[in-house]
A and B are shown apart, each in its own frame.
Chain A
Amino acid sequence: MMMKTRKVYPRPEYCMACHLCEVHCVAAHSKSRDLVKAFKRESPKPMPRLHVEESGPMSFALGCRHCDEPLCVYSCLTGALSKDAKTGIVSVDSEKCIGCWTCVIACPYGAIAPDPARKKANKCDLCFHLEKPACVANCPNEALVWGEVNA
């Protein structure tokens, strides 16, 4: 499946590991969409769908790459994972997801994590319900950019 998907790219040279991307990801996917309420009141608390990796001075936040050849989609036992033909977004149908974690093993980026509370696979959905991915919109240092690779 070849298409140009707009996705979120990390820029490690600008990342300060402040974790605001993770915080805003949680808020953006919460019921209340409110930062404080999402963390203090909602249960189970939504997990961030991207995660910050840090080691010494190097850090970056990585979420799903919405691959052209999505190994997770090909590995999914139930067909819960699929890639949208128009937007290229790879998403999980939580009704069909049985929490078998086969996709967790399949993703070479480690971009899918088990959500033990909900028993569903957890991954970036490119904030298709918002105008712009929340992580990109709230990164104070433009360490995350939203773009599309020119051929």
Chain B
Amino acid sequence: MLEAKYVIIGNSAGGIGAIEAIREVDREGSIILISDEPYPAYSRPLISEHLAGERDLDGMLYRPEDFYEWNGVQTLFGKVATDLNVSEKTVKLEDRQRVAYGKLLLAVGGKPIVPPMEGLDRKGVFTFTTLDDAREIRALIPEVKKAVVIGGGLIGISVTDALRKLGVEVSIIELMNRILGAVLDEEASRMAGEVVRKAGVDIRTGRTVKTITGKAGKDGQVGGVILDNGERIESDLVIVAIGVSPRIDLVKGTDINVNRGILVDRHMATSAPDVYACGDVAESYDFIVGADRVVPIWPNAHIGGRVAGYNMAGKNAEYPGGTAMNSLKYFGLPVASAGLVNAGDGCEVLSHRTDGRYQKFVLQNGKLVGMVLVKDVEPAGILFGLMRDRVDVSGFRDSLVSDAFGLISLPEDILRKRLELPDLGRLHVFHEPEAYADAVDEG
């Protein structure tokens, strides 16, 4: 049986964050990393570029190839963890091998949602969340004239972007009455929809796919789909991109608390001793909603992984909380959104639209709780910072939508804190590089 002080299951944003945080505190403790994919950690959002032929694995690596060796991590790639025994503190793999842990991190992510429908087993039906998915689809492209993408959310739009670059005709079938409904408001969805349609994509909203049909004479192969209204669309490829749900199967045999995801506290600890979780599998603190949520966003996974790693290594760290935060640039239109973009009751909405530029802010009790920016995303950082820090913006609400918005729009006391201008007495100023050794104190 293998054993390590730290065992991490999951080799993406969360797992890597944990390794780096652990190593800042503990350079000696043994680390074993288990991943069901055979590759070093890669940037998952780049699978779209891989499909389009723009990047290969080398150009997608999240960290250098020697990252694991450099950090003293024993890797078990291509191994699936199947069972978890929290009293024995062991993980069992598909090949029956067992791994004992001192501390365990579940950074296993999510799995694609595939609703039951006839024809899923036909060749040419894929989900789109892994590098292997991109590889397999890419291999088929020479025989693909037309594709149907089920789902007009982030994954659906990103795979469509790649398919269009490859010259494939695409129909998107979206259940909601607009694309990107989970991350954008109506206006931004409309603008995005315009750009996507201009690129030659056929978007069907308010529709679902009932059946995947076979090809004439080759029934085992995808020939098309039948929608809920009976309409038939021909296609050589079907991509199911409805969404992702947390991979909680591993904890099913245990009494670890789960809701939609694995519940964790502000230290990323689960209800089982010495077991932590982070990333897309975890349900962790969302500072906008003020409750635990599954927020499957790359930065949240990495920061959650770091916090988990620190705590696993004995250094107290608290997860500041995450919230929805998305930046997209498919079909050439930059869009940034964060928080609650569709205003509910009791919310104040500020918005501004000129030409192709659109900005919308949602305020609740004077605080920024949501934002959408289309085309000009440059102010997004300062604004997201105000959201994160729960700053009351009612005093300068008019400046939010102005072209001239910047740090300088903030009230002076907030600005000074943001600029963190140190007292001159504490600032050691360098005039010439060679004077570093005998620098003169200012003021």
Q: B77 in the interface, Cβ–Cβ < 8 Å?
A: no
The 8 closest A-B pairs by CB, nearest first: A108-B385, A75-B299, A107-B381, A53-B408, A147-B429, A110-B382, A105-B380, A55-B408
In the bound assembly, the distance between CA atoms of A11 and B404 in angstroms comes to: 21
Q: A98 in the interface, Cβ–Cβ < 8 Å?
A: yes
In the bound assembly, the distance between CA atoms of A54 and B428 in angstroms comes to: 27
Please give the distance in Å from B79's CB to the nearest CB on chain A.
24
In the bound assembly, the distance between CA atoms of A11 and B338 in angstroms comes to: 32
Q: Is the CB of B336 within 8 A of A78?
A: no
Type the 1/0 row for A5-27, where 1 means its CB is closer than 8 Å to any CB of B.
01001111000000000000000
Contact of B378 among A54, A65, A114, A150 (CB under 8 A): A114
Q: Is the CB of B430 within 8 A of A6?
A: yes
Q: Is the CB of B427 within 8 A of A147?
A: yes
Q: Can you report 27 residue pairs joining A to B where beta carbons are below 8 Å apart?
A: A1-B24, A12-B421, A53-B407, A60-B408, A62-B419, A74-B302, A74-B306, A95-B59, A96-B59, A101-B327, A102-B325, A104-B336, A104-B380, A106-B299, A108-B388, A109-B381, A110-B378, A110-B379, A110-B381, A110-B382, A113-B378, A114-B377, A132-B432, A145-B429, A148-B430, A149-B422, A149-B426
Question: Contacts A74-B303, A77-B45, A146-B429: A102 and B421 contacting too (C-beta < 8 A)?
Answer: no
Q: Is the CB of A105 within 8 A of B302?
A: no
Question: Contacts A79-B62, A102-B299: A149 and B427 contacting too (C-beta < 8 A)?
Answer: yes
Q: Is the CB of B45 within 8 A of A105?
A: no
In the bound assembly, the distance between CA atoms of A131 and B338 in angstroms comes to: 40
Q: A89 in the interface, Cβ–Cβ < 8 Å?
A: no
Contact of A101 among B302, B377, B430 (CB under 8 A): B377
In the bound assembly, the distance between CA atoms of A115 and B329 in angstroms comes to: 13
Q: Give the total of A residues in contact with B, Cβ under 8 Å.
A: 46
Contact of B430 among A12, A112, A113, A147 (CB under 8 A): A147
Which residues of A pack against B, CB within 8 Å? 1, 6, 9-12, 53-55, 58-60, 62, 65, 71, 74-75, 77-79, 95-96, 98-102, 104-114, 131-132, 145-150
- Chain B residues closer than 8 Å to A95, beta-carbon distance: 59
Q: B442 in the interface, Cβ–Cβ < 8 Å?
A: yes
